[in-house]
Each structure stands twice: as structure tokens, then as C-alpha cells.
Structure 1
């Protein structure tokens, strides 16, 4: 809002915040801060309204703290066409969900590094897509500010895009995750920290 944080700074901050939250409450909530991710994990059985309410409350807090003008809208709106942002949101949400599926749901992954992997993916996604679509990857992240500041421009792209992308990413990872390796070989590399402690 005041120009004190550069765009790369926003990318780094965004990635680090998600990483910290995963390590802080991932063991409690499964680190589901994104309705599109949660919906993918529950295979469309329910929409997580608590996350949407949380996003609206957080957006309301920002509005009260900074009293932003319309030009300081902190939601997501397309720089180009709505279709361009829609397609881009599908792609970056696919990448995010693919990484989350790999590091958070597969017992063969190095679980202790999940926060770093997911945070880094968000950092890279925002760095690439931020100047074009705003890099939402999260319906709640777009709906919250839209409701509070009454700016619904192309909101459909930021609801449908992440939903389609995360579903595709989750299903794609499930297709490639299976292996013919014996269980002993798989579990040998399941924990980075355990392997370090064994080697000491």
C-alpha cells in the first residue's frame, strides 16, 4: 500500500508465512489453509466454510487497520483478461497441489521438509504469476477481500481456477505415486531427521 515492500519481498513473505504456519499447526489441521486444497482432499464432499469465514474476518481486520482506498485493493484481479488469469490460476494451483500431495500425503516423502517445499512452491508461483493474475491459488484468499471491499471483478476465475487446478494436481499425483518397490525400501527414506539420527 505504501510502496515499502518490493514485489520479490511480497513473494518471499508469502512463502515464509505459509511455511511457518505449516510447521506451527500442520499437526493439528493438516495445514489446510486453502479451501481448494481441503476440498480436493475430501473429494468434493464438503466446502470448508470455516476457511472462508476466516478469510473474510482477516480481510476485515486489514480494512479496519489501514482504511484502504479502492486503488489499494488487496484481493486479486486480472491484469490482462479474466480467461488469462483463469488459466494461470489452474496451472499454479495444479503445481501447488501436486507438491502438497507429494510431501504431505505420501509416506515415502521427507515429511519434515514439507513446509519448506510448499512455501517455496508458493514463492515461485507468486513470483511468476503474481504480476498477471495476483497468484491467488486459494478461493478464500480472493473471496475475503472481494466481500470486504466489494470488488468482484472476475471473481469466478479465482474460485473455479484454483478448484480445477488443485483437483487436477491431486488426481495426477495419485496416478504417479504408486510403485513396485518393496515396503522396506520405501520406508528407509521416509524421514530425513530419523536417517540423520541413525547415522550419528
Structure 2
């Protein structure tokens, strides 16, 4: 390295050996690869612990009877909230193929990352289900997957409705910049808790194809599995569509209130004004 190059480095001027993007885009491609890898790993870890804790509470309750149904509901809500706050800023905190696909459909997520996210979510669910099978003596009566207690149609309708609500809430707190982002984890976690309270005894309150497929693959129980793939997909897409229909504007509320009141802004944009 010559004196001129050293002086340039001291002055902060980039040289050919500095960490700048090259014409062939190698560094940019490498940075993108690292970022995507981090997101995929975050989805694996997040999904793993959601299934481990949520399904684990089901297993413990069925074997030892110490958790109770309200405890299961609270566990599902809490673990989702915890993982959203833990890795949501890295991967977006999907943990759910239905959420990932819906975000992609409404252009809130790149299509090329969808297979990677779904693979990560499935891997996390299968690994967690395998862990539970190794740790506990899971009998057929202690199965921690989701099986319709009534008809498949009844569970399908329930899954569509509760996933609609879940995706409606996610769309509000994750895609609308007027929402208070710090409360996203609480809102999503509480929504899941409420859904499990209502739908748990009927369908198992999956709302997530990965949550149902993982235990089914590990324990070889496939009864009504299609319900937990089709239902959440339909519900999630419908929930996001409904929120986008009622979305007032993409501008945050603070921008709407800078020059005039919020009510005045609404009146100006209403068909009856002017």
C-alpha cells in the first residue's frame, strides 16, 4: 500500500480495498443474503418456541392436568406476544404461512421470500413437535395437534372467522403507519388468546397451517388437516382485504392534524364537500 493510499484512508476517502459496493454488486448481494438468512433463522426460532410453549401447555394439561383451559389460552397469547417483541424487528414476526402469503398478496412482503419463510415456519413447527414428542410420553389422548371435535365444516367456518380477526388486527398494527407500533405484540397476542378461548374447544383454534402441520407430521395424525390449511388462508386473505377497504389513508394521523382538525380533513375528503 502506497503513501497516497494511506493518506486517502486517513482522510476518509474510499479506496479499492474499502467496504464499498462494487460494480458487480457482490457486496450488495452478500448483504442481502446475510439479511435474508437472519430473517429465516428468526422465523425458525420464533415458530419453534411458539409451538413448543403453546402445544407444550396442551400436552402438560392433558397428561398432568395442571394448566387448565384458561391457562392454555393465556400461554398461546403470551408466547406469541413475547416472540413478536423478540424477533419481530428482524423478520417481521410472521410465524404463520397464512400471514406470510397474505402479506405477499397485498404487496407488503416480497414474493421471492415467501417460500423461504414458509419453509422456516414449517421447520420450526416440526422441530418443536419433535421435541415435545421426545420429552413427553404423548399418547393418542394427549395429542397436541388440532383435530375437529365436530364436523369439518364447522371447524372450517370457525377457523376462517378467527383467522379473519387475527389478520384484521395484524393489518391494523403492522401495515398502517398511524397505528402505535409498540403495541403490536400486545394486540396480536391478546387476539390469539381471545380466539383460543372461543374456538379452542371446537377446532383447536389453529389460525396457522404450520401449527397444525407440524404436530400432524410428527405424530402421523392427519384427520381434518385440510381444514387448518384452507381455513386460515381464506380467513387471513379476507381479513387483510377488509382492513384495506376501511383504511382511511396511508398518511399518519399527526400529518392530518398539522394544518387543520381531523374532522375538517374528513369533511374535505367526503363526497358531499365543496
Q: Distance in 1 between matches of 2:257 and 2:174?
A: 16
1:11 alignment counterpart: 73
Paired residues of 1:108 and 1:186 also in contact (CA < 8 A): no
State the Cα deviation string for residues 74-130 of structure 1 (Å, max 9, x = none).
000011111100110000000000000001111000111111100110000000000
- Return the offset for 1:9: 0.6
After the TM superposition, which residues 86-105 of structure 1 pair with which residues of structure 2 at under 5 Å, given as runs?
86-105=156-175
2:122 alignment counterpart: 52
Q: Distance in 1 between matches of 2:122 and 2:246?
A: 31
Confirm or deny that 1:154 pairs with 2:216: no
List 4+ stretches of structure 1 deviating above 2 A: 44-47, 178-183
SS at match of 2:159: helix
Give TM-score scaled by structure 2 length: 0.65
SS at match of 2:198: helix
Q: Distance in 2 between matches of 1:179 and 1:32?
A: 24
Relative contact order higher in (CA < 8 Å, ≥ 6 apart): 1
After the TM superposition, which residues 105-144 of structure 1 pair with which residues of structure 2 at under 5 Å, given as runs?
105-144=175-214
State the Cα deviation string for residues 174-199 of structure 1 (Å, max 9, x = none).
11113397761279xxxxxxxxxxxx
User: In the superposition, relative to structure 1, how do residues 180 and 160 fare at CA in structure 2: closer, same or farther (>3 Å)?
Assistant: closer
- Return the offset for 1:19: 0.6
Q: Distance in 1 between matches of 2:79 and 2:160?
A: 22
Q: Distance in 2 between matches of 1:41 and 1:178?
A: 19
Paired residues of 1:60 and 1:148 also in contact (CA < 8 A): yes
Instruction: Could you tell me which runs of 5 or more consecutive residues in structure 1 were left unpaired when the two chains were aligned.
Output: 188-200
Q: Distance in 1 between matches of 2:80 and 2:192?
A: 8
Q: Distance in 2 between matches of 1:15 and 1:61?
A: 21
2:153 alignment counterpart: 83
Paired residues of 2:102 and 2:237 also in contact (CA < 8 A): yes
Aligned residues: 187
Q: Distance in 2 between matches of 1:168 and 1:64?
A: 38
Paired residues of 1:93 and 1:169 also in contact (CA < 8 A): yes
Select which of 135, 153, 160 maps to 1:65: 135
Confirm or deny that 1:185 pairs with 2:256: yes
Paired residues of 1:102 and 1:173 also in contact (CA < 8 A): yes
Paired residues of 1:98 and 1:169 also in contact (CA < 8 A): yes
Confirm or deny that 1:175 pairs with 2:245: yes
Paired residues of 1:19 and 1:115 also in contact (CA < 8 A): yes
Give TM-score scaled by structure 1 length: 0.89
1:193 alignment counterpart: none
Q: Distance in 1 between matches of 2:247 and 2:127?
A: 37
